[in-house]
Structure 1
Amino acid sequence: MKNKILVIEDDRAISELLCMNLEAAGYETVAAYDGEEAQRLLLWQEDADLAVVDIMLPGKDGFALMEDFKKKELPVLYLTAKDDVASKVKGLKLGAEDYMVKPFEMLELLVRIEKVLERTGRAKKVLTVRNILVDMQSHQVYKDGLPVSLKPMEYDLFVLLLQNKNIALGREELLKRVWGEDYLGESRTVDVHIGQLRKKLELYDEIRTIPKLGYRLEE
């Protein structure tokens, strides 16, 4: 369900930092620490969507691994301390989608990863809260990996809450953005749908009622 990213980095501290931040951003990660391990990983990670690759690896380096990535048609983003122009040109000419130099800002890396996934048509739009995952492409909601049936308006309302985590949204705003400007019904409609979401998804504590205003999805 989530985009899977291979992290190929021999510095374990950097690898752990990358994996931790990528997972916090909603990605699944698999780590390898040298060229040979990366090759073995490519043999069985059929569903990977992107590889973030250091160039200076023990054994087979990041440049030499490019042929393996190409065979798998796996997009590559080089993340390396090699900041000379010749290395950048070589990496991009070999077929890398992007090239970033260490030290790096995690936020910039996340944006670049998102752009590569979008450009290569591999982006999976996924929203999560606790043990619940929403696949924006299939409009399917999963709880503990099992599908949950939501009515169209329940789904739209839940997605809006997810996209505005920890932000209070008024009933009138929810009505306007989910049911549309021309909806003539009562704001009580929102309360009924919120009640259904709490029940179906067991988010009694996470979907908070804001007195005299509306609701907030907390995480």
Structure 2
Amino acid sequence: MSGSSTVLIVEDESAQAQVLTYNLEAAGYSVLYAECGEDGIQQARLHRPDLIVLDWMLPDMSGIDVCRTLKTDVDTRDIPIMMLTARGSEDDKIRGLTVGADDYVTKPYSNRELIARINANMRRYGLGTEALSYAGIEMNTETHRVSRDGDIIKLGPTEFKLLRTLLSRPKKVYSRAQLLDHVWGMDIHIDERTVDVHMGRLRRAINTDGKPDLVRTIRGAGYALDKDA
């Protein structure tokens, strides 16, 4: 059910991380792994995973500090975070949720329950699904069918990936660097102006027949899909 959704595991116990990785990949997820807080923060900023599974106790900094850092960063604050911890008191749970954690799982846990909780959080945030929609635009990521107000839209592969990224979090502003990462990948050296060219093509494709322009350009920042632009 998860398609190509990515989960970042931040966990210093390698054996536990390996088991969780195995179960997540068996469930269809792509998995990233970090064994310390600083690496977890860097990977979250670089790859923008769909969800983060974050251990409370890490060798360099606490999961609470990692969570607080990610939730105060404009580039990562929208990523759902599930805290894993042996701390089961009500005060600890409240502390975790207060700094921005979206869910809280107490150790020991069953892998089946954890995967179910991850799936539930994906559904809650509209991630990992085949259907995406916003302001009359409908996208099926499995069949690559895109329409607006019932009219079929033909997109090239790059424009499809751009629209999928924007549809995943409507109104969120994506920088050109982030769009390059999501669509072309960090290992490909492409000028950021290439994003502008393809965004122009996307804008022309979805804003036909006098329909309102849904692509908002934020000078010096990037792009967003926003019906209130």
TM-score class, shorter-chain normalisation, is 0.5 to 0.7
SS of equivalent to 1:64: helix
Instruction: Find out whether 1:34 has 2:39 as its counterpart.
Output: no
- Specify the alignment match of 2:104 in structure 1: 99
SS of equivalent to 2:119: helix
* TM-score, normalised relative to structure 2: 0.54
Rg larger in structure: 1
Q: Is the 8 A contact 1:6 1:31 kept in 2?
A: yes
* TM-score, normalised relative to structure 1: 0.56
- Specify the alignment match of 1:17 in structure 2: 19
Instruction: Give the count of matched residue pairs.
Output: 132
- Specify the alignment match of 2:61 in structure 1: 60
Structure 1 segments, 4+ long, off by >3 Å, are none
Deviations for 1:156-182, whole angstroms, at most 9, x for unmatched residues?
xxxxxxxxxxxxxxxxxxxxxxxxxxx
Share of identical aligned residues, percent? Answer: 34
- Specify the alignment match of 1:108 in structure 2: 113
Q: Is the 8 A contact 1:11 1:33 kept in 2?
A: yes
SS of equivalent to 1:86: helix
Deviations for 1:120-142, whole angstroms, at most 9, x for unmatched residues?
1223349xxxxxxxxx932328x
SS of equivalent to 2:126: coil
Instruction: Find out whether 1:8 has 2:10 as its counterpart.
Output: yes
- In structure 1, stretches of 5+ residues that fail to align are 127-135, 142-146, 148-219
- In structure 2, stretches of 5+ residues that fail to align are 132-138, 145-156, 158-229
- The separation in 1 between residues aligned to 2:30 and 2:12, in whole angstroms, is 19
**Offset of 1:43 from its aligned partner?**
2.6
Instruction: Find out whether 1:139 has 2:142 as its counterpart.
Output: yes
- The separation in 2 between residues aligned to 1:69 and 1:124, in whole angstroms, is 24
Amino acid at match of 1:105: S
Instruction: Find out whether 1:79 has 2:80 as its counterpart.
Output: no
Output the aligned Cα RMSD. Answer: 2.0
**Offset of 1:25 from its aligned partner?**
0.5
- The separation in 1 between residues aligned to 2:98 and 2:61, in whole angstroms, is 19
SS of equivalent to 1:79: strand
